Amino acid sequence: MRTNGILERGTGAITVFGAYGHTGRFVVAELRRRGLTPILAGRDVARLEQLAGRHGGLEVRRASVEEPESLARALGGAVAVINCAGPFASTAEPLIEAALAARVHYLDVAAEVEVAATTLGRSADRAREAGVVVLPSVAFYGGLGDLLATAALRGWPGADELSIAYGLSNWRPTSGTRVTGQVSKARRGGRRLVFREGALRLSDEAPPTRQWDFPSPMGARAVVGEYTTVDSVTISHHLHVGTLSSFMTAAALADLAEGLPPEAVDEAGRSAQTFLVEVVARSGGKVRRAVARGQDIYAVSAPVVVEAAVRLLAGPPRAGVFTVGQLFDAADFLSSLAPLHLSFEQDETQAPVSGA
């Protein structure tokens, strides 16, 4: 049997590292939904076994980044590993090294900007020699924006300007998001990380604010500018953009600061949060827009990273270190997630569009 016309089920196992975390549980459920059998890996065997029991019994392997031999065992017999364990500043490098040694594909859902920059900046020679792909930040942040930007620029050599606006109805952070935020804040000495003139910089300035006219039904919302996410890294890694700007709804940032955890509202465990991500690209007199809508930024990361893993298992276009938009046909990838996980639309105009 084939999954989405791509992968024959049962062709290799995928290790999920940090499987019992908030996003990890969504990833495991999505792999099971697609008929795949993941290997559950992480520090806490009791939590792994509890999760395995909820899925009818899955293989459990204890693994820790402090114990390289345990990572090797966790990847034994696998064809890919999905890293869901943050902070990724601690887990990404050891797990990438283990994946290269084991000759298995590596994917993660890291939203940590510096971690993605380091991963994408590493030499791709070892990955090519191993015949595998290293694919960081294949999630709501990093992956979805990169796919939308790549789809918007289809056929263009680049863009004069590209803006990405995140319209979140609310943002209740997971414990992982809170811990990661604290680690990042400490690393930056409390300063903001901004993307200016094609590079990441630290700033003491207050972020700019403005209105953004999101497509219906969201409409006009107050947004905070220079809200730098890992999308700035993934997009700029392979797309030629003169000016790259990013915006986040101000209300979502207020929720993030409050720190209340997400609450499940359906059987899948998703929260009531909705999102709308709009990418607007300008080149000369033309304007292109790509938009994705869906529910729960953590939950939607699962189908994004699982779709990428499935495509890798079918045979990667080439080996090396890439972003998801760089490696795959972006419009086809996004279309494959609709309508079950998100909606995707794009258009081109000569006149300014919403948010411009």
Give tens-digit pLDDT for 212-243: 999 998 999 999 999 999 999 999 999 999 99
Question: In 109-119, which positions are buried (b, 16+ CB within 10 angstroms) versus exposed (e)?
Answer: bbbbbbbbbbb
Beta bridge partners of 246: 164
Question: How far apart, in Å, do the first and last CA atoms of the chain sit?
Answer: 46
Does residue 11 register a pLDDT over 50?
A: yes
Nearest Cα neighbor of 134 from 80, 214, 63, 204 is 80
Asked whether 353 and 278 are in contact (CB, 8 A), the reply is: no
Bridge-based pairing state of the strands 192-196 and 274-283: unpaired
Asked whether 71 and 51 are in contact (CB, 8 A), the reply is: no
Residue 269 to residue 309: CA distance in whole angstroms: 22
Average per-residue pLDDT for the chain? 93
pLDDT score, position 185: 81
Residue 320 to residue 315: CA distance in whole angstroms: 13
Asked whether 55 and 25 are in contact (CB, 8 A), the reply is: no
Domains along the sequence of the chain with CATH: 2-139+301-331 (3.40.50.720), 141-300+340-349 (3.30.360)
pLDDT score, position 160: 96
The mean per-residue pLDDT over the stretch 108-122 comes to 95
- Residue 2: CB atoms within 10 Å: 11
The mean per-residue pLDDT over the stretch 321-330 comes to 98
Does residue 6 register a pLDDT over 50?
A: no
Asked whether 255 and 170 are in contact (CB, 8 A), the reply is: yes
SS3 content of the chain, % helix, strand, coil (to 5): 35, 30, 35
The tens digit of pLDDT for each residue in 256-267 reads: 999 999 999 999
Indicate the pTM of the whole model: 0.93
Asked whether 268 and 299 are in contact (CB, 8 A), the reply is: yes
Does residue 154 register a pLDDT over 70?
A: yes
ω into 339 cis (within 30 of 0)? yes
pLDDT score, position 352: 53
Bridge-based pairing state of the strands 274-283 and 159-168: antiparallel
pLDDT score, position 3: 35
Instruction: Decide which of 175 and 249 is more confident.
Output: 249
The tens digit of pLDDT for each residue in 59-97 reads: 999 999 999 999 999 999 999 999 999 999 999 999 999
Using alpha carbons, list the distances in angstroms from residue 84 to 7, 192, 271, 307. Answer: 22, 25, 19, 15
Residue 14 to residue 42: CA distance in whole angstroms: 14
Residue 111 to residue 87: CA distance in whole angstroms: 9
